[in-house]
Amino acid sequence: MNQRKRIAITGVGMVTPAGNDAPTTWANLQAGRSGLGTIRHFDASGFPVRIGAEIKNFDAAAVINNPKLLKHATRPHRFALAAAEEALTDAGIRPTANDGHRWGFCVGAGMMAMDFSELQAAQKVSAPDGEFHADKLLSDDFPADPVAFSRNQTNSGLALLTRHFGIRGYATAVHTACASGGQALGTALKVLRRGQADYVLAGGFDSMLNPTGLSAFCLLGALSTDNDAPEQASRPFDATRNGFVLGEGAGFLVLENWEAARARGAKIYAEFAGDGNSLSCYRITDSPPNGDGPIQAMRQALADAGMTPDLLDYVNAHGTSTMMNDRSECAALRAVLGDHVGHVAVSSTKSCMGHLISAAGAVEAAVCALAIRDGIAPVNANYHTPDPDCNVNIVRGQSKRMRIRAALSNSLGFGGSNSCLIFRNPEEVQ
């Protein structure tokens, strides 16, 4: 195999239910402090699930001083703008008029585009008697917001962020459900290795915490109904787990060529060493019980990183806290890690910040970067009762101080999309 270009992570930014920036998020994840609670930003009292992982006390205008830009930004776009700004500031480099064309942008874009209130308004006017009347939709009774359409496209976030930051090179918005963020990062890695860009701002954003998103997951029975104990509701790998907790947020990383990063004296969190991407070809919402699909993604990522499993010390699991996902993922981990499985610390930080859907893979990649930097495997909160079907080495009780040579992050999506990313400690890079 040809010598690949080495890619460095030099900046991270996060807006998560555990904190409105990366340092706060990371501190809370290490402490196992939950960002989950009763849903506040819309009235969820009529739903069987009334808990979520919300972004709290967030003011985009405090970070992004551009009211006109914010007019076009949905809730998750605002998280994305703030997280991306933090990542660029952290990296100490940003696109300029001279090199904007050498910057790329790859993003896992949110699953829900249209705001519920817009759907509701259209329904109210066009179907007053319950039947849809096309002629009423654009009638005089309903001044329809023309900006809504441009705000609600899957690439709207991409358009907004690239324009704001002056990124003019390779850009793509990926949507593969819960694997989106991971696959966007994987795409960024390939773009950099191919030399299509010198820098990529890569990440993900999402918010399905709205009546449509919440009701959809309620109908699928995928969410924890522990309304009275939200902080304990997300308990990946615990035998008593009963579903995931829907979250929202954004995460971004600045990726660049290793040698260039070294040359400019950048701090390097980790090498972004490998990407694996597979489809389970199984069922829409079921995870393959034997881990088929995730297994291939993990093996591809290891091969891509040129690594054997014994070099891994930490896995940031997809670990949603649903019965099926956690079993399937553990089966895959056992298959891929073999005899080494007991030596690899595994945790799902969704235990503290819920499931960020399209943002999850990017946020958890940022978590891996910080875990490597600080030598800390963050705790898998709320893990008390082992499940014999999830027999892996869970980080239990408290975060574990340990040197991490390499970390692996899984993101496994609806429809069978699987993403696996591998990050290597800079000290391990010769």
Partner 1 sequence: MSNENITQEEIMAIYPKVAEMIADALGCDVENVKPDASLINDLGAESIDFLDIIFRLERGFKVKIPRGKIVEQARGALSEAEFESGGVISEAGAARLRVFLSEVPADRFKTPLKSAEIPKLFTTETFCKLVLRQQRAAAEAPPAA
Active site residue 133: no
How far apart, in whole angstroms, are the C-alpha atoms of residue 165 and residue 63? 13
Catalytic one among 77, 164, 175, 355? 355
E strands, 193-269, in order: 199-207, 248-257
Q: Which is nearer to partner 1, 163 or 264 (CB)?
A: 163
Does the active-site annotation cover 77?
no
Q: Encode burial over 289-327: b for 16+ CB neighbours within 10 A, e otherwise.
A: eebbbbbbbbbbbbebbebebebbbbbbbbbbbbbebbb
What's the min distance (Å) between Cβ of 143 and partner 1? 4
Least separation in angstroms between residue 68's CB and partner 1 is 3
Helix, strand, coil in percent for the chain, rounding step 5: 40, 20, 40
Decide whether 144 or 219 has the Cβ nearer to partner 1.
Answer: 144
Instruction: Note the residues at the interface with partner 1 (CB under 8 A).
Output: 66-71, 140, 143-147, 150
Where is 276: in which H helix or E strand?
Answer: strand 270-279
Q: Which is nearer to partner 1, 66 or 240 (CB)?
A: 66
d(CA 260, CA 266): 9
Rounded to a whole number of angstroms, the minimum distance from the CB of residue 70 to partner 1 is 7
- Closest CB to partner 1 among residues 57, 68: 68
Q: How far is the CB of 67 from partner 1 (least distance, A)?
A: 3
Query: Which residue in the list 318, 330, 352, 390 is annotated as catalytic?
Result: 318
Q: From 424, 428, 427, select the one nearest 189 (Cα to Cα).
A: 424
For residue 314, what is the enclosing H or E element? strand 314-316
Handedness of CA 95, 100, 104, 106 (dihedral sign): positive
Q: Are 225 and 242 contacting, i.e. CB atoms less than 8 angstroms apart?
A: yes
Q: Is 106 a catalytic residue?
A: no
Q: At closest approach, how far in Å is the CB of 75 from partner 1?
A: 17
User: Toward partner 1, which CB reaches closer, 71 or 130?
Assistant: 71
Q: Structure tokens of 223?
A: 């969410």
Active-site pick, 77, 106, 175, 178: 178
Query: Which positions are catalytic?
Result: 178, 318, 355
